[in-house]
Amino acid sequence: MPELPEVETTRRGIATRLVGKKVVRVIVREPRLRWPIPQELALQLPGNIFSAVERRAKYLMLKTPAGCLIAHLGMSGSLRIFPATAPLTKHDHADIVLDNNTCLRLHDPRRFGALLWTNKNPLQHPLLINLGPEPLEADFNGAYLYRQSRGRSVAVKNLIMDSRIVAGVGNIYASEALFTAGIHPARAAGRISRQRYELLSQAIKQVLNAALEQGGTTLRDYYASDGKAGYFKQQLKVYGRAEQPCITCKLPVRLIRQGQRSSYYCKYCQR
DNA sequence: CTTTACGCCTGACGGC
DNA sequence: TGCCGTCAGGCGTAAA
């Protein structure tokens, strides 16, 4: 399941093979993604040369002079470069065919992903304009989290998964960062000290960077743009480890539901 | 304004 | 063996 490290891994994997290449045509086999793939994509993208591949939160921005392809991998999506004649597999919903006999292929079994097209600054797109700071940038820090959390009764885990607060912290890494910081996931956000938010912001950066170094976390169906699995799963401390002993205190890791998501934590190590 | 719940979707898995 | 219910979850959206 692509989270920020997986999306960044994908960005790095495809960027060098896209930039400077011209789009020959766009093939849409299944337009029914999170939103329908717009007609404008197939009409306006061909003939253009990719100038940059950037990321904002979990959105990828594939830039050309004429406009920008915005891609989201949803729960199960992948973007990989294939030979243009590579055999199709189930759920290969779209190909961006390039002028060097390769194609960028979107594969997404659950179809929670998206391919969109904009002629404007993609950062001004409705889906991106309200995103909070990037978690790995300097403006995301303890002071910022502390300020944003004052007067909020929401559980701290929900706070850090709110894309308006910080962009791109998903369910896996939220649980992991809270464990590292020693903070209970259900604690009211407004009742956490500035000092502890400093710990939390550092933990978020640390866990995301560690996952990035491992090429992301492969649980079920995530594979990097080179098709390889990520290796961060072996380093997960609480996520997916319900009833297994906490790596610190040996008490069983607990599983609760917050919102509609699973949260894993240690009752003793997280307060 | 904040908070909560839902739905989209397929594949894996467990129970019978 | 097959069928069916449940779960997984990013995240926009609607509702409370």
Which DSSP string corresponds to A144-206?
Answer: HHHHHHTT--SBHHHHHT-TTTSTT--HHHHHHHHHHHT--TTSBGGGS-HHHHHHHHHHHHH
At A217 the pLDDT is 52
Separation between the CA of A193 and the C1’ of B9 (whole angstroms)? 40
Residue A188 has, within 13 A of its CA and on its CB side, a CA count of 6
> Which nucleotide is at minimal CA–C1' distance from A7?
C10
Report how far apart, in Å, the C-alpha atoms of A7 and of each of A106, A227, A266 are: 13, 13, 28
C-alpha A100/C-alpha A103 separation (Å) is 8
At A28 the pLDDT is 95
Q: What would the mean pLDDT of A150-177 be, rounded to a whole number?
A: 92
A208 touches strand B (CB under 7 A): no
Report how far apart, in Å, the C-alpha atoms of A228 and of each of A78, A213, A217 are: 11, 14, 11
Report how far apart, in Å, the C-alpha atoms of A47 and of each of A15, A114, A152 are: 18, 22, 49
Residue A98 has pLDDT above 90, yes or no: yes
CB atoms within 10 A of CB A118: 20
Amino acid (1-letter code) at residue A105: R
pLDDT band at A78 (very low <50, low <70, confident <90, very high): very high
Three-state secondary structure call for residue A209: helix
C-alpha A81/C-alpha A103 separation (Å) is 6
* Positions of strand C less than 7 angstroms from a protein CB: 7-13
Among this protein's residues, is A21 annotated catalytic? Answer: no
Report how far apart, in Å, the C-alpha atoms of A122 and of each of A71, A91, A104 are: 11, 27, 20
The maximal CA–CA distance of chain A, rounded, in angstroms, is 59
Q: Which of residues 96-125 of A touch strand C (CB under 7 A)?
A: 110, 112
Report how far apart, in Å, the C-alpha atoms of A190 and of each of A39, A81, A146, A178, A205 are: 45, 45, 8, 15, 21
A61 token code pair: 């921005």
* Positions of strand B less than 7 angstroms from a protein CB: 2-12
C-alpha A151/C-alpha A232 separation (Å) is 35
Q: What would the mean pLDDT of A126-149 be, rounded to a whole number?
A: 93
A197-250 residue pLDDT tens: 999 999 999 999 998 888 765 444 444 444 444 546 668 899 989 888 999 999
At A6 the pLDDT is 87
C-alpha A199/C-alpha A175 separation (Å) is 14
At A50 the pLDDT is 97
Report how far apart, in Å, the C-alpha atoms of A100 and of each of A44, A54, A104, A201, A247 are: 19, 22, 11, 43, 49
Catalytic site residue from A11, A55, A56, A58: A58
Residue A257 has pLDDT above 50, yes or no: yes
> Which nucleotide is at minimal CA–C1' distance from A261?
C9
At A212 the pLDDT is 87
Separation between the CA of A175 and the C1’ of C11 (whole angstroms)? 18
Which range scores top for mean pLDDT: A29-33, A56-60, A97-101, A264-268?
Answer: A97-101
A77 touches strand C (CB under 7 A): no
String of b and e for A86-101 (b: at least 16 CB within 10 Å)? eeeeebbbbbbbbeee
At A234 the pLDDT is 67
A126 touches strand C (CB under 7 A): yes
A153 touches strand B (CB under 7 A): yes
At A225 the pLDDT is 47
At A214 the pLDDT is 81
At A13 the pLDDT is 92
Among this protein's residues, is A58 annotated catalytic? Answer: yes
At A259 the pLDDT is 80
